[in-house]
Structure 1
Amino acid sequence: MSFDAFAPAHRIAADIRDGAISAEDVVGGFLKRIDELNPTINAFTDVTAERALAQAAAIDARRAAGMALGPLAGVPFAAKNLFDISGLPTRAGSKINRAHAPAARDALLIERLSQADAVLLGGLNMGEYAYDFTGENAHDGPCRNPHDLARMAGGSSSGSGAATAAGLAPISLGSDTNGSIRVPSSFCGVFGLKPTYGRLPRTRSFPFCDSLDHLGPFARDVTDLAMAYDLMQGRDSHDPACAVRAIEPTLPTLKDGVSGLRIAIAGGYFATDSMPEAQAAVAAVAEALGATQVIDIAGAGIARAAAFLITNGESSAFHLQRLRQHADDFDPETRDRFLAGALQPTAWYLQAQRARRWFHDEMIRLFETVDLIVAPATPCVAPELGQKTMMLKGETVPLRPNIGLFTQPISCVGLPVAAVPVFGGGLPIGVQLIAAPWREDLCLRAAYALAEARVASVKPPLASCN
Structure 2
Amino acid sequence: MSASRPAEATAIAAAVADRRCSARSVIEQTLEGIARLDRGVNAFTDVLAARALARADALDAASGQGRVAGPLAGVPFAVKNLIDIEGLPTRAGSKINRALPPARRDGALVRRLEAAGAILIGGLNMGEYAYDFTGENIHDGDARNPHALDHMTGGSSGGSGAALAAGMVPLTLGSDTNGSIRVPAAFCGCFGLKPTYGRLSRAGSFPFVGSLDHLGPMARSVADLALAYDAMQGPDPDDPVATTRAPEPVLSTLEIGIDGLRIAVAGGYFARSGDPEAFAAVGHVAQALGAQRTVELPEAHRARAAAYLITAAEGATLHLDRLRTRPGDFDPAVRDRLIAGAMIPAPFVERAQRFRRWYRDAVLDLFGGVDVILAPATPCRAPKRGQTHFVLDGVSLPVRANVGVFTQPISFIGLPVVAAPVWLDDGLPLGVQVIAAPWREDLALRVARHLERTGICTARIAELT
The TM-score normalised by the length of structure 2 is 0.98
1:424 aligns with 2:427: no
What is the 5 A alignment of 1:263-342? 263-271=263-271, 275-342=275-342
Distance 1:272 1:421 in 2: 21
Distance 1:379 1:137 in 2: 22
Question: 3-state SS of the aligned residue for 2:235?
Answer: coil
Post-superposition shift, 1:274?
A: 5.8
2:135 corresponding residue in structure 1: 135
Distance 2:399 2:88 in 1: 33
Over residues 376-431 of structure 1, what are the superposed CA-to-partner deviations in whole Å (9 max), with x where a residue is unaligned? 00011110000011112221111111100000000000000000001112211110
2:75 corresponding residue in structure 1: 75
Change (3 A) 1:274 1:356: closer
Distance 1:274 1:19 in 2: 49
2:410 corresponding residue in structure 1: 410
Q: Which amino acid aligns with 1:457?
A: T
* Equivalent residues of 2:389, 2:397 under 8 A apart: yes
What is the 5 A alignment of 1:253-264? 253-264=253-264
Question: 3-state SS of the aligned residue for 2:442?
Answer: helix
Change (3 A) 1:82 1:50: same
1:220 aligns with 2:223: no
2:210 corresponding residue in structure 1: 210
Q: Which amino acid aligns with 1:455?
A: I
1:43 corresponding residue in structure 2: 43
Q: Which amino acid aligns with 2:456?
A: V
Could you tell me which runs of 5 or more consecutive residues in structure 2 were left unpaired when the two chains were aligned.
none
* Equivalent residues of 1:5, 1:30 under 8 A apart: no
Distance 1:351 1:161 in 2: 35
1:126 corresponding residue in structure 2: 126
2:101 corresponding residue in structure 1: 101
Question: 3-state SS of the aligned residue for 1:148?
Answer: coil
Change (3 A) 1:2 1:412: closer
1:91 corresponding residue in structure 2: 91
Q: Which amino acid aligns with 1:437?
A: P
Over residues 206-230 of structure 1, what are the superposed CA-to-partner deviations in whole Å (9 max), with x where a residue is unaligned? 0000000000000001101001001
Over residues 134-189 of structure 1, what are the superposed CA-to-partner deviations in whole Å (9 max), with x where a residue is unaligned? 01001000000010000000000000000011111100000000000000000000
Question: 3-state SS of the aligned residue for 1:369?
Answer: coil
Could you tell me which runs of 5 or more consecutive residues in structure 1 were left unpaired when the two chains were aligned.
none
1:153 corresponding residue in structure 2: 153
Q: Which amino acid aligns with 1:222?
A: V
Post-superposition shift, 1:3?
A: 5.8
* Equivalent residues of 1:133, 1:404 under 8 A apart: yes
Over residues 301-357 of structure 1, what are the superposed CA-to-partner deviations in whole Å (9 max), with x where a residue is unaligned? 111011001001101001000101111000000000000001110011000101111
Distance 1:441 1:284 in 2: 22
Please report the RMSD computed on the Cα atoms of aligned residues, expressed in angstroms: 1.1
Distance 1:273 1:340 in 2: 25
1:114 aligns with 2:110: no
1:362 aligns with 2:341: no
2:442 corresponding residue in structure 1: 441
Post-superposition shift, 1:59?
A: 1.1
* Equivalent residues of 1:272, 1:278 under 8 A apart: no
1:60 aligns with 2:60: yes
Distance 1:395 1:99 in 2: 42
1:193 aligns with 2:193: yes
Q: Which amino acid aligns with 1:125?
A: N
Kindly, what percent of the aligned residue pairs are identical? 59
* Equivalent residues of 1:5, 1:168 under 8 A apart: no
Q: Which amino acid aligns with 1:421?
A: P
Distance 1:381 1:272 in 2: 16
Counting matched residue pairs gives 464
Distance 1:67 1:228 in 2: 21
Change (3 A) 1:395 1:2: closer
